[in-house]
Structures are given as C-alpha cells and as structure tokens.
Amino acid sequence: MPEFLQFVFSGLTVGAVYALVALGFTLIYNASDVINFAQGEFVMLGGMTTVFLGLTGVPLPLAAVLAVVVTILVGLALHRFAIEPVRASGAVVLIIITIGASIFLRGVAQVVFDKRFHSLPSFIGGDAIRVGGAAILPQSLVVLAGTVVIVVLLWAFIERTLTGKAMIATAANELAARLVGIDTRAIVALSFAISAAIGAVAGILITPITLTSYDVGTVLALKGFAAAMLGGIGSAVGAVIGGLLLGLFEAFAAGYISSQYKDAVAFLIILIVLFAMPRGLFGPAPVERV
Amino acid sequence: MPGHAKAAIVIALWLASGVGEASAQVKLGAVLSVTGPASFLGDPEKKTLEMYVDEINAKGGVNGQKLQLVVYDDGADANAARTFATRLVEEDKIVAMVGGTTTGATLAMMPVFEEAQIPLISLAGAIQIIEPVRKWVFKTPHTDKMACEKIFADLKQRNLTTVALISGTDAFGKSMRDQCVAVAPQAGITIAHEESYGPRDSDMTPQLTNIKGKPAVQAVINPGFGQGPAIVTRNYRQLGIALPLYQSHGVASKQFIDLAGPAANGVRLPAAALLVAEKLPDNDPQKPVVVAYTRAYQQKTGQPISTFGGHAYDGLMIFVEAAKRAGSFDTAKVRDEVERTKNFIGTGGIVNMSPRDHLGLDLSALRMLEIKGGDWTLVQ
C-alpha cells in the first residue's frame, strides 16, 4: 500500500508539471487554432531567466517577476515578427513556424545563458512530507496549487470578462469577430502574452523539482502536448486532467510494469483513449461551421 | 581595375602569410565536441589544449619546432567527426591527433588513423577503444569497467555484497551498467535488482520505491550522467532510503553537488585525483601535477575544474613527451614512444603503457570520494 501511495504522489508531481505546460497550449489554440510548439521554450525561459537573474544578485521573488515579464515580451515578439506577418497562411504553416521558433529560442538560450543544468531552491522547506509510508515534496504541492490557481484565473478571465469573450469570438469566427468591432490582432497577441506568462510561471514553479537547462523545453512541450490532446485540446480543465492522468500512467507503468516501458505505456493509453474519443476526454463537441 | 589588382595583392599576401606560417610549424589535430550535447566535455578539452599548446610554444616548442593546434568541432556527431578526421589527415597533414571527445566519434575516426598510420590519443571513456588493442589508437580517461571495479572494492571493504542498480538509458549509463553486470561475479557482488530511467526524466521515485521494497539490497549504484543522477539522489533522500548510494565518475563535477543540494551528502563515487587536488596528501606523486593544472586552468578560464579537461592535458603531454623522446615528428617513431610511456604522471593517474595496454592506468588511478558538507572528501 505505501508503494501505491508513493506512485500516486510521483504521478501527481510529474502530472502537475505536464498540466501546467498543457494549459499554455490551450489558450493560443483557443484564440488562433495554432498549436504553439514553442510553449516548452516559454517554460525554459521562465526557469532559466530566474536562475540567471538570481545569480547576478537579484532577489529571487523579483527575479521570478522579471522572468515572467521577459517571457511575455518574447511571446509578443514571437507573435509580432513570426506569426502576424503570415497570419493568412493557415494553421499548419503557423504550427511549423512555431517549431522553427522553438529551435531558434533554444539556440539563443544556449548562447545567452549556458548549456549546464540549473536549479532553484524550494519555495517552502525542502524536507519531504511523509504520509502513510510515502513521501511527497512540499514543492509538488506548490506546483499543484499553482495549477489550480491558474485554471481558476483563466476560467474567470475567459468567462467573466469582455476581453475573454472577445477571445472566444475570435476563435469561433475571426471575420465575424472583426465585423463586430473586435481587434482580433490584439486578441491573438494577448493570447500569446498570456500563454507565455503561464509557461514562465510553470517554469519557475517546476525548476526546484525537475531542474532546468536550455533544452528542457522539447520534452516538456511533447509531454504537455500529449496531455492537452488527452484532455481535449482547447479545454483548460481537460489540460489539467490530461496532464495529471499522463503523470499517473507513467508512474504506475514505471512502478508496476517496467521503468523501460513507462513512456511507451503512457502513449499507448493515450492512443487508445483518442481512438475511442477522438476529441479527447473534455474536448468540445464537433460543430459544423456553415 | 586598380581595385581588383589591390584585392589580388591582398589575397596573395594573405595566402603567402598562411603558407609561410604553416611550413614552420608542426600540426597537431583535435576533433572535439565543443558544441552540442557533449559540449561540457569538449569545451574544457579545447580550452586546455589551446592553453598548453600556447605555453609549450612560448617555451620554444618541441624539438625546436612550434606546435600548431588544428581544432574542429564535431558537435557530438560521429559522421562529422569522421569527415574532419579525413580532412586532418589529407589536407592539414597532422602528425598526431588528440581527441575524439565521445566514444562514438572516436570509433568513427579510428579506421582513418589506422589507415593513415598516424597516432590517435582519444579522450573518450568506453573500453571498446582500446580493447582489442589497435596499433595507432590510445586513450587517456579511465574506463567505466574500472569505475565498477572501484565501487565493488569499496563495497567489499564495508562488507556489503548485495546491490541494486538504477541506470540511465543514455549511452554512458547503459555502457557502465553492462560493465558492472559483467564484472560483478568476479568481485563477489550480487546484483539483486535493476531499474532504469530515461535521460530526461524528472522523477525517479517509482523506481526507487521498488528498490526500497527489496529487503536483500544493501547498497544502490547509479550509473549515469547529466541531471539524472542529481534527481535520483534527491528522490533517494525524499523517500528516506538509508542504504549507501554510489554514483559514477560521470557526475564527478561540482555541478552535481550544486544540483543535488544537501541530498548529495553521504554519496560516494570513484573519480580522478584531479577533483580533490588540494586535499591530496603531500606525498602523493600526482599532487604537484593536478594542483598545477587546477590553478592554471582556473586562472585562465575562471571556470571550475573538470576531469575532462584533465584528460586532454594528459593526451597532449603524453604526445609531447613521446615526440621529445623520439627526437622527431616521424609518426611511426612517435607512436612507438607513446606506447613506451612509463611512469607518466598525469591528471588521470600514473600511466604505464605497453603493447597490450594502450591506456596504462590501474585501479589506483581512481580515488573513492565521499561528499560531505557540500564538498569532496577522500575516503581512506
């Protein structure tokens, strides 16, 4: 039984990381139908900028805030200089551009920062909390709490503010949205800024657990994307549930089957779920646009 | 037209100066992984070679001739390494090669040097480079087999015989795992349980939970490098496992202690004397060499020392000593003298090569270290 509990804790820890990355995908997808594969690099930028500002003597809380600002600026620049000029090209072209942007950001990070791994201290105490023979790090709880806060804020923003409604309108039909006076360009730019902010916050929260380096974004983006697909892309709740489930699949596969096949098992389960429910667990029902 | 003429003169002068410079110097080749995933190995190697070649030239060179270092960066790509090897042999006409940062690059380059009959001193870890012995191929770093033997010897001293392995699935982790499994029976060690993790995994608690549940296990060994071992160490303490934990020489750098934090205390690992230069007893024959290298490297680069730069130092100095003994840069003579290297005191150990041993290190080259209070200490 302690083993089972430990696997659950492990799964939730890793799952919360995936959930945070998956949330970043959700927003840009909702506003523009683009899956932003540079989302992992936003996560990397959040963590690495905090680490390096910290090294220059900036107090860590301030460094974290600055890192979020820097990442937002990068997100806006990505939109302005890479996405906006070719906005009419369709989603596939834009997705390929985000992959290019991801490689570019990784290369720049290699030069601006360095190629080593870095860590941040835990936010609250480093000692593990022991429950029923299993142990969980306080930082894992911070990550889980951070995920909940972001989901609630995101929900409130989309459902309760006019700008949020404008974002839904832009996603539903860009031309119609423009006709009713919505500045769709600004809305899409805003979605990049918020996604960058979510990514940066995720990077700062998870670095004490997962460590960070210039190239952590690749794997995180892959896992976060898988989590978003599993939960149903476009749904914030789905992203979180998908992330947590993916983490739990991996932990149980590593614990009960074999650590060699844990990724294979996790992706197999995702394939089976998507086969049965092609839009994911919480994906919006397909709507025919006429 | 006058513009063209000027340009032609400039180019001619530039070519002439290049040729003039090259003819007065002896070329030493180095294909290193300065960028890419193995850059943390290749970067200190390049800096070390450049620093010491400059120093040797400032003191008048070798055999009255100055050395010219020709470095190519393979980016940890074995195909690129082979292309550069061919270029070094055919165009640069080098007399010897120090390099091959990674095992893959070295294995890809070996046939080129065997065929051209030019000595190759590799800086890569795997034992396949020198077993079976190839006439023109040497190497300086310890093998992973030696690391396993060193750990097992330390276990025996503590009367521990049953261990569990948790290894990375990267090339380094796999290779060392295989060597440990192969030498365990001879050393009288039983491997009771095995787990693995991917090189980019961020949580190893499920695997460690399984190890914790095996009552026979007396110690845990973690072959791997990169950030994986740091996370294993943190998770190990998180789960409150009280058994001794052994890491490999793959994480023998200050960075591991920084990343693992307080969890690193009590971890043991085999490593070269270089890491504990200042802490060696004064009568240790390696002490003057490793202290001098440490100070020179840190002063020049401002970066913490790593054993990888040390391997490059050893390779370069073995070549220089051999060339001095040979009295010329004739490749066959230099090769013979490299093979006759005896009692060479390097950063990696005391090297005694022979026609059957192109590494020349024994187990005494590795020291057992324990991390205490965030720093290395020698286990006596």
CB of A187 closer than 8 Å to CB of A30 = no
Q: How far off is chain B from A250, nearest CA to CA, in Å?
A: 9
pLDDT of residue B12: 52
Q: Residue range B228-234: average pLDDT? A: 92
pLDDT over threshold 70, residue A256: yes
CATH code for the part of the protein at B27-142+291-362: 3.40.50.2300
The reply to whether B144-277+366-378 shares the fold of B27-142+291-362 is yes
| 3-state secondary structure (DSSP) of residue B366 | strand
Beta bridge partners of B32: B73
pLDDT of residue A287: 60
Q: Residue range A114-130: average pLDDT? A: 84
CB of B232 closer than 8 Å to CB of B208 = yes
pLDDT tens digit sequence for B283-324: 899 999 999 999 999 999 988 888 889 999 999 999 999 999
Pick the CATH number of B144-277+366-378 from 3.40.50.880, 3.30.70.141, 3.90.1200.10, 3.40.50.2300: 3.40.50.2300
For chain B, what is the mean pLDDT?
A: 89
Q: Where does the pLDDT of residue B21 fall: very low under 50, low under 70, confident under 90, or very high at 90 and above?
A: very low
The residue with greater pLDDT, B5 or B162, is: B162
ipTM over 0.90: no
pLDDT of residue B322: 95
Q: Burial-class residue A122 by CB neighbours within 10 Å (0-12, 13-18, 19+).
A: middle
pLDDT of residue B51: 95
Q: Where does the pLDDT of residue B110 fall: very low under 50, low under 70, confident under 90, or very high at 90 and above?
A: very high
B264 to chain A, any CB pair closer than 8 A? The answer is no
Cα separation values, B79 from B38, B76, B84, B98, B171, Å: 15, 9, 9, 18, 17
Identify the residue among B238, B254, B257 best suited for mutation to test binding to A, counting A beta carbons within 10 A and taking the highest. B238
Share of chain B above pLDDT 70, in %: 94
Contacts of B200 in chain A (CB under 8 A): 216, 219
- pTM for the model stands at 0.81
Q: How far off is chain A from B120, nearest CA to CA, in Å?
A: 28
- Name which of B210, B230, B237 is nearest A211 (Cβ-Cβ): B230
Q: Where does the pLDDT of residue B6 fall: very low under 50, low under 70, confident under 90, or very high at 90 and above?
A: low
The residue with greater pLDDT, A40 or B199, is: A40
A141 to chain B, any CB pair closer than 8 A? The answer is no
Contacts of B227 in chain A (CB under 8 A): 117, 211, 213
B255 to chain A, any CB pair closer than 8 A? The answer is yes
Q: Where does the pLDDT of residue B2 fall: very low under 50, low under 70, confident under 90, or very high at 90 and above?
A: low
A255 to chain B, any CB pair closer than 8 A? The answer is yes
Nearest to A50 by CA among A121, A124, A130, A105: A121
Residue of A nearest to B37 (CA): A115
B376 to chain A, any CB pair closer than 8 A? The answer is no
Residue of A nearest to B227 (CA): A117
Interchain proximity B259–A119, CB inside 8 Å:
yes
pLDDT tens digit sequence for B274-292: 888 888 888 899 999 999 9
Q: How far apart are alpha carbons B177 and B126 in whole angstroms?
A: 12
Q: How far apart are alpha carbons A207 and B72 in whole angstroms?
A: 35
A204 to chain B, any CB pair closer than 8 A? The answer is no
pLDDT over threshold 80, residue B378: yes
pLDDT tens digit sequence for A59-83: 999 999 999 999 999 999 999 999 8
pLDDT over threshold 80, residue B17: no
Interchain proximity A128–B197, CB inside 8 Å:
no
Q: How far off is chain A from B257, nearest CA to CA, in Å?
A: 11
Angle, to 10 degrees, between the axis of helix B103-116 and the axis of helix B78-87? 30
Residues sharing a CB contact under 8 Å with residue A285, sequence separation 6 or more, in sequence order:
A279
Contacts of B222 in chain A (CB under 8 A): none
pLDDT tens digit sequence for B174-207: 889 999 999 999 999 999 999 999 878 888 999 9
Interchain proximity B202–A17, CB inside 8 Å:
yes
The residue with greater pLDDT, B333 or A234, is: B333
B301 to chain A, any CB pair closer than 8 A? The answer is no
pLDDT over threshold 60, residue A290: no
Q: How far apart are alpha carbons A40 and A198 in whole angstroms?
A: 11
pLDDT of residue B23: 43
Contacts of A255 in chain B (CB under 8 A): 206-207, 209-210
- Name which of A9, A10, A117 is nearest B255 (Cβ-Cβ): A117
Q: How far off is chain A from B207, nearest CA to CA, in Å?
A: 6
Contacts of B39 in chain A (CB under 8 A): 115
Could you tell me the two tokens for A63?
């460094």
pLDDT of residue B9: 58
What ranges do the domains of chain A cover? 20-238
Interchain proximity B203–A251, CB inside 8 Å:
yes
| 3-state secondary structure (DSSP) of residue B203 | coil
Contacts of B210 in chain A (CB under 8 A): 3, 255
pLDDT of residue B20: 41
Nearest to B313 by CA among B301, B296, B330: B296
pLDDT over threshold 50, residue A147: yes
Q: How far off is chain A from B164, nearest CA to CA, in Å?
A: 14
pLDDT tens digit sequence for B234-260: 999 989 999 999 999 888 878 888 888
HSE of A7, CA atoms in CB hemisphere, 13 A? 20
Share of chain B above pLDDT 90, in %: 63
Please report the number of interchain residue pairs, chain A to chain B, with beta-carbon separation below 8 angstroms. 81
pLDDT tens digit sequence for A172-203: 888 899 999 999 889 989 999 999 999 999 99
pLDDT tens digit sequence for B36-51: 777 878 989 999 999 9
pLDDT of residue B1: 46
Q: Report angle CA A94, A96, A97 to the nearest 5 degrees.
A: 60
What ranges do the domains of chain B cover? 27-142+291-362, 144-277+366-378
Interchain proximity B195–A259, CB inside 8 Å:
yes
Helices assigned H by DSSP within chain B: 2-23, 39-58, 78-87, 103-116, 144-157, 171-187, 205-212, 228-238, 254-260, 287-301, 307-326, 331-339
pLDDT of residue B163: 95
The residue with greater pLDDT, A264 or B333, is: B333
Q: How far apart are alpha carbons B225 and B238 in whole angstroms?
A: 20
Q: What is the per-residue DSSP string for B73-133? A: E-TT-HHHHHHHHHHIIIII--SEEE--SSHHHHHHHHHHHHHHT--EEE----GGGTSS-
Nearest to A102 by CA among A196, A11, A32, A178: A196
